[in-house]
Structures are given as structure tokens and as C-alpha cells.
Chain A
Amino acid sequence: MPDTDTLPDFNRKKPFNPRRFATRVAVYSILIVVGLFTIMPLAVILLNSLRFNADILRESFIGWPTRITLENWDVAWSSACINASCTGVKPYFIASMLMVVPATLISTAIGLVNGFALTKWKMPFASVVFVAITIGVFLPPQVVLLPWAIALSWLGLSKSLAGLALVHIIQGTCFTTLFCRNYLVNLPDDLIKAARIDGAGFFRTFWKIVVPLSPPIIIVTIIWQFTFIWNEFLFAVTFSSSDFRPITAALMSLNADDTGVSEYGFGSAAVLIAAIPPLLIYFFGGRYFVRGLTQGAVK
């Protein structure tokens, strides 16, 4: 970034160059067109959530609202029928929150402690753990789906909030450990050594030295875990029932339910409600979101 400021501005110093100008126009045009294409689906459902269903059906799914209503949001939140129970998406949204928040925080905390143990203490089996968690990150979930289902029923946790949270914590710990490890490995060893010479033990060093230096990775990990678990569908649909159903699974039922008249108005609102938590995180934590992307994959 600072490079752009210090480098001379070619645009201003050089005389008008028609070829260069044409290139600039082409670059901006392509970016704007692709940008519009990218934003279009979100814009369309946002507008539809504010339109009357009758208008959507008469005019088109893609269109500007001629009249505006907030009723869709109300219906989608509290009275739309999903799987023959007319509660709106509210209970599913709450169920998702109650499952995702603990799963995110617990897996992040474990990941951070693990990362510290792996990088700053000479562990006899550190490389074994490293290989195991890497495999854990890459393993396709389908291959453990059936064993998970059987194991959860043995534990008395089948199709429950606790069961799904447990799956995400155990699976997510691989990801968070890898993430935190890659960050903490760059932390100067001298700090840890100094604390150890002062007689600080593992947990004291962790609290006094590692945690205060780790907010960036903690935020990145929380953002990624929350987004991933919130958006996850396969485990969510497998390990849920009418008593406990996360919002992605409920949304799929709503989507598959389209017998009879299609309710695009509140359908759009419901889709947006499901997308809002990760989108909020994305727009407010965008910097960390991008950092997580570029750091996590480019080790």
C-alpha cells in the first residue's frame, strides 16, 4: 500500500496518452461490470424482501420495488411455515446461534493453547500432531459422517445441539490449531524464554505473554470458525431434528417446500436473515477476513 503513495503518479506526470486512457477505461469497465454481476444476486433478494409477493409474481423476480413493505421480514422471522410448523426462521436462527457461538469460542480457545504448545515447547510428538491436524482439515466430511452418526447415538447426543457442537469443536480444532500454530510460530522465542527463566509455567506464560500478543489471530480464527460453522450444511442437516434444526437446514426445507404458490417475498427475507450474521462479520471485520484468507492458505 505505501508503495502507491511514494511512487510517482504516472497519470499526472505524463502527457495525455490516448492509448493509455483507453486501457484505463477498459480496466474500469470490466471491473464495474463484474462488480455489478457479483452484487446482483444480493441486490435482487434485498429488493425482493421489500416488495409485495403479488408484485414479484406479476412483474418479475428481478425488479425495482414499486411499493415497499417490511411485512416479508416480519413473516420470515416469526410466522413463515417451514416443514409444516409456522414459526418463521426465528427458532432456527436462535438454534444456530446457540450452537455456533460456543463451538466457535471453544474450538478457538483449544486451537490457541494447542498452537502455543506446538510451537514454543519442544514436544516429542509435535510433528505427529501437525500431520494429524492437517489431515483433519483436508478430510472430506462424508467419510466420517456415518461413524459420527453412530458415535453420537452411543453418546446419547444424536440430533442434538450438543452433539452438533461437539462435531464442530472436534473437527474445528484441527483447523484452529493449524491456524494458530502458523501465527504463533512467528512469535519471538525470546519472550517465552524470558518468562520461563522468571519461573513462569505453561499456563502463566500463555496468559501473560501469548494471549496479549494474539488478538489478531484470535479475531481471524473466530471470524473463520463462526462463518464456517454458521454456513455449514452437511452436518447441520444430518444431526438435526424437529427439536433442533440450524438455519441452513431449515432454509433448505423452505427452499424444497415450493409446492403451490411461491412466496418469493418472505423467502428472500428468510434467505437474507440466514446470510446476515456472516455478512455483518464480513463487512465489519473485512480486514481480518482477508488476512485470514491470505495467511491461512499461504503458509
Chain B
Amino acid sequence: MQSVAQMPEFRTRSVSRAARMAQLVPTLVLLPTLITTGIYIFVFVCWNIYLSLSSSTLLPVYDFAGFDAYTRLWRNPRWTTGVNNLAIFGALYIALSLLVGVVLAVLMDQRIKGENFLRSIFLYPIAISFVVTGTTWQWILNPSTGLEKFFHDLGWTSFEFSLITSRETALYAVVIAAVWHASGFVMVMVLAALRGVDHDVVKAGRIDGAGMFKIYRRIILPSIWPVIISVLIILLQFAIKTFDLVLALTHGGPGISTTFPAIFVYDRLFAAGELAQGAAAAVWLLIGLTVVLLPVIALGWVLRKQRNGGGHA
């Protein structure tokens, strides 16, 4: 960066014909990506919005039916249940993953022996697909095969753990599997941030007589907010896209008790033959993601700016 500023005459002098030709190459290199990404983002999203306003059912029809698909959508219990589930699941999933991840990271930060080994164990779930995660947890949470039977066989016959078979509680089974999948990821991110905290400030706090708990609460945790924001953004995305984990774990059941908006989209598009409604549901997913992400991104931006500004003062 500095060198560019120091030798501006180099750039102005080099605008010859050959240099201009040379400048063309990187433009041509980026062009395919710009075109495909432009199509992918702009054309495809508009296309999807257009289809959501059409009367398409089994096959795409390019007419205009207004917001018919959207109004029918909110009368469909599969959709409203899905939205409801997503709200409950999303809140629990994000809160618990953050809680477990931050606590683990703080514990891992206490000069632990075998840190690398423990980190490998905590983080491996993130490398495993949601299909594998869901399938495995389905076996473990199923009362007739998994934990419940295990404890019954050990002699603890009153033990009950049948979250997954009940309409009221199956959603919490999804939360367990999802938190298992994400906590290690949160831990690693937060731990990396903890290691980046200014040691002098911590030392100063210690000299002032602040205890470990107070140091974390007052000095360390407030300074790792940007990372928490990044983690929050990624977890929010995971939550809204929740699809394969639920299919593998509960198939959306019992009944439709654990259906999700992303499942609804797929079901409308490729099973129920309701293209317009599926497209409309997908548009809501996009709106939902934008509405929850934008404030978080803005908050992260403000915090980062504040911190950078504070650093100079």
C-alpha cells in the first residue's frame, strides 16, 4: 500500500498502449465470474420472484397472478408451522451454541494440557455433513434403540428420553443435534479471538486486583465482540437454511411438527407441484435472512469502527 503512494509517477507514466492492453487481461479474467455471479444472483433471484407471482403449478408458467401464491402460503399450516419452528429452533440453536462455545473457549484458555487434542475433538462435528449428523442422532435419540434403551438395559428402568417421538418435543431433538454440530466451531472462533486480546490490558487488570471472572466479563469478552458478530452471522445462515439435518433426523415429523421453511420450499417445488408457492416461500426466506442479517452486519460494522477509533485515542 505504502509503496503505491510513494511512487505515483510510475502509474501515470505507464499508461501506454501496451500497459492498457495489459490492463485488459485482469478485466477479461474477472468477466466470466462477474457474468455468472450476475446471472446467479440477479437474474436467478428475479426469475424466482417472477415465478412466485405467476400461476405456475407443476410446470413454470410465465403469467401474472399477483400475490396469490403469497397469500395462500400464509394460510398453509405447513408453512406457518415451519416459520414458527424456525423461530424457536433458531433462537435456541444460536443461544445454546454461543453459550457452550464461549464457555468452552474460556475453559480452553486456562493453560490446558492437551489443548490441541481437545480442540480436535470439539471441532470435528463441523466437518461432518448434516445428513450424517441427523442419521446418527436419530439412532441415538430414538427411545427404542438409543439412550433410553441403553439406560433401561443398565437397570435404570424409569429413565425416559423420548424427545424425538413426541410432537411437542421433537424440535428440541433437532436443537440438540444442531448444537452438537456447531458448538466446537463457535469455541474455535472465540478461542482464536481470545488469543488475540491485548495481554497488557489483561495484565493491568490483574495488577489492579481483578479476579479471573471479572477480567473475562469486563475486559476480554467485550473486546471479542466482532468475532461473536461473525459467528452470529454464520449461525443465523445455518439456521435459516436448516433442511438436511431435519430430514435425516425427524423427516419433519412426527406429523409436521418439525417441518421447516426450507423443507416447505423443497416440498412445494419438487414433490407437491406448487412451483409458484415454493418460489414465494423461497422469497420469504431471502427476505427473512436479509432482515435478520442486515442489523447484525450493521452492528458489527459499528462496533469494529468504534474499536478501531478507540485504539488510537
Contacts and interface: CB of A to CB of B under 8 A. Distances in A.
Interface of A: 3-4, 24, 27-28, 30-31, 34-35, 37-42, 44-45, 59-63, 110, 113-114, 116-118, 121-125, 128-129, 132-133, 135-136, 138-151, 170-171, 173-174, 177, 188-190, 193, 201-203, 227, 230-234, 238, 248, 251-252, 255-256, 262, 264, 267-268, 271, 274-275, 278-279, 281-283, 286, 289-290, 293-294, 297-298
**5 tightest CB-CB pairs across the interface, nearest first?**
A231-B129, A233-B244, A117-B26, A282-B127, A202-B25
B164 interface: no
B93 interface: no
Interface size class of B (residues with CB under 8 A): 35 or more
A147 B43 contact: yes
B270 A238 contact: yes
A133 B243 CA distance: 24
A251 B135 contact: yes
Contacts of A38: 121-122, 124-125, 180, 183-184
Chain A interface, DSSP helix/strand/loop, else mixed: helix
Given A140-B240, A233-B129, A252 B37 contact: no
Contact of A255 (B10, B147, B189, B248): B248
28 contacts: A42-B124, A60-B149, A61-B150, A114-B33, A117-B29, A136-B41, A139-B286, A140-B282, A142-B266, A146-B51, A147-B44, A149-B269, A170-B40, A173-B37, A174-B37, A193-B3, A193-B10, A203-B25, A233-B247, A234-B262, A238-B270, A251-B135, A252-B247, A264-B139, A282-B127, A283-B120, A290-B192, A298-B193
Contact of B129 (A128, A133, A147, A278): A278
Given A140-B282, A177-B33, A279-B127, A234 B189 contact: no
A286 B44 contact: no
A271 B189 contact: no
Contacts of B237: 138, 140
Interface of chain B, main secondary structure: helix
Contact of A146 (B34, B233, B275): B275
B185 A293 contact: yes
Contacts of A35: 118, 121-122
A41 B7 CA distance: 59
Given A140-B241, A252-B244, A278 B146 contact: no
B36 A173 contact: yes
Contacts of A193: 3-4, 7, 10
Contacts of A128: 34
Interface of B: 1, 3-4, 7, 10-11, 22-23, 25-27, 29-30, 32-34, 36-38, 40-41, 43-45, 47-48, 51, 60, 100, 103-104, 107-108, 110-112, 118-140, 142, 145-147, 149-150, 153, 180, 183-185, 188-189, 192-193, 199, 226-227, 230-231, 233-234, 237, 240-241, 243-244, 247-248, 251, 262, 265-266, 269-270, 275, 278-279, 281-283, 285-286, 289, 293
A28 B105 CA distance: 13
A46 to B, nearest CB: 10
A194 B51 CA distance: 53
Contacts of B265: 142, 145
Contacts of B147: 62
Contacts of A39: 121
Contacts of A262: 145
Contacts of A62: 140, 146-147, 149-150
Contacts of B60: 146, 150
Contact of B37 (A42, A133, A230, A279): A133
B127 A281 contact: yes
B311 to A, nearest CB: 16
Contact of B136 (A149, A151, A271, A294): A271
Contacts of A37: 180
B175 to A, nearest CB: 15
Contact of B128 (A132, A147, A278): A278
Contact of A274 (B124, B132, B226): B132
Contact of B199 (A3, A233, A271): A3
Given A62-B140, A140-B289, A233-B243, A279 B124 contact: yes
B48 A147 contact: yes
Contacts of B233: 297
Which of A44, A60, A290 has most B Cβ within 10 Å? A60
Contacts of A24: 110
A28 B111 CA distance: 11
A267 to B, nearest CB: 8
A133 B40 CA distance: 10
Nearest to B150: A62
Nearest to B11: A122
A233 B36 contact: no
